[in-house]
Amino acid sequence: MMSKRFQLIELLSEGRFCSGVQLAEKLAISRAAVWKHVQALVELGLDVHAVRGRGYQLRSPLQLLDRDRIQRFLSQHTLSRLDAVDIFNSVDSTNEYLRRNLDRLSPGRGRACMAEQQTAGRGRRGRSWVSPYGSSLYLSLAWFIDQPGMSISGLSLAIAVSVARALEEHGIERLGIKWPNDIFLEGRKLAGILLDLSGESGGAWRVVAGVGINVRMPSTAAEQIDQPWIDLSGLNVSVDRNRLAGQALEALVSDIIRFADQGLDSFTDEWTRYDLLSGRVIELRQGDRMIAGIARGIDTDGALLLEHQGTIRSYHAGEVSVRLAE
């Protein structure tokens, strides 16, 4: 059964005033208990305010994830390849959840998971991913790629292209990708991708692709983010979270199938269009070494090409981090 707290969020989600008496009645709890839950929602980062005589209100309405609406944006083909689409109010991490269920995957098929909130959201390089309730998208897709011998290292770039395209379908323009897979807008990070791979080269791969998209970041959560970021709320587009979740999942499934069949090659034209670094002076950090040079696109495995003192060398995503030098 859904907990009282999440039922309360649902009752308030449209942004209308609800009196303490009404809420207490609907939830079958005392008014004091309603008040306690409201305090907990404030701690979750939700902007609930109380007005004497009128009750409680969420200052900005929430569009909660809704399975039926999400599935409307999935094709028959995608639905036929997914064994589950799990939607949670709260989970530690959608990637971790799917990793715990990897043995349920079968070849050429996948499972998806989304959540309103992550209590231990993970970013790249061991960082955490700030994941407040109801305001962003946390979406993961697990897939069993059964193509022995295929080179998997370009997958994270293909996933980034897939997400950028899904965002563009929402009218979001001038998106770019900072190698290997950060989605940027106006010089700030809009979405991040975390790929967990298990398998061995030459064999089959079980992958979990996790995508976090900043939709509307509450100010309390924003304070915890340690890099320049942007969300969709300030842009001139109206975003339906369920449509974005559905279209992003649709894109991920078809692109992961395309990657398994055709490899990174079939994404390189799109990659080049989004590539933020190409032709620019960048700094690579490799352990405690810094290498400056000019970014020259990617090689066939998705490694970054860097021109340094007249020679071009490739660097893999696991071994370096990148900064624009100008």
Contact status: 117 vs ligand BTN (CB under 6 A): no
Contact status: 132 vs ligand BTN (CB under 6 A): no
Backbone angles phi, psi at 256, to 5 degrees: -70, -35
Q: What number of chain residues touch ligand BTN (CB under 6 A)? A: 20
- The DSSP code for 234 is G
Tell me the residue nearest to ligand BTN as measured from the CB.
192
Contact status: 322 vs ligand BTN (CB under 6 A): no
Based on the residue annotation, tell me whether 127 is a catalytic residue of this protein. no
Question: Nearest distance from residue 188's CB to ligand BTN, in Å?
Answer: 13
Please give the biggest Cα pair distance in the chain: 74
Based on the residue annotation, tell me whether 36 is a catalytic residue of this protein. no
Instruction: Provide CB contacts within 8 A for 231, sequence distance 6+.
Output: 136, 190, 214, 215, 216, 217
Q: Are 62 and 9 in contact (CB under 8 A)?
A: yes
Contact status: 118 vs ligand BTN (CB under 6 A): yes
Based on the residue annotation, tell me whether 178 is a catalytic residue of this protein. no
Contact status: 93 vs ligand BTN (CB under 6 A): yes
β-strand pairing of 289-298 with 304-308:
antiparallel
Residues 175-204 interacting with ligand BTN (rule: CB under 6 A): 182, 192-194
Contact status: 134 vs ligand BTN (CB under 6 A): no
Query: Which of 151, 175, 146, 194 minimizes the C-alpha distance to 274?
Result: 175
Euclidean distance between CA atoms 145 and 154, whole angstroms: 13
Contact status: 210 vs ligand BTN (CB under 6 A): yes
Query: Which of 254, 258, 252, 152 minimizes the C-alpha distance to 206?
Result: 152
Tokens of 148: 């022995």
The secondary element (H helix, E strand) that includes residue 207 is: strand 205-213
Contact status: 159 vs ligand BTN (CB under 6 A): no
Cis peptide preceding 107, ω within 30 of 0: no
Contact status: 127 vs ligand BTN (CB under 6 A): yes
Applying CB under 6 A, which of residues 95, 135, 162, 242 lies at the interface with ligand BTN?
Answer: 95
Applying CB under 6 A, which of residues 5, 37, 111, 122 lies at the interface with ligand BTN?
Answer: 122
Residue closer to ligand BTN, measured from CB, 12 or 139: 139
Question: Nearest distance from residue 307's CB to ligand BTN, in Å?
Answer: 26
Q: Residues interacting with ligand BTN, by CB under 6 A? A: 93-95, 118, 121-124, 127, 129, 138-140, 182, 192-194, 210-212
Catalytic residue IDs: 124, 189, 323
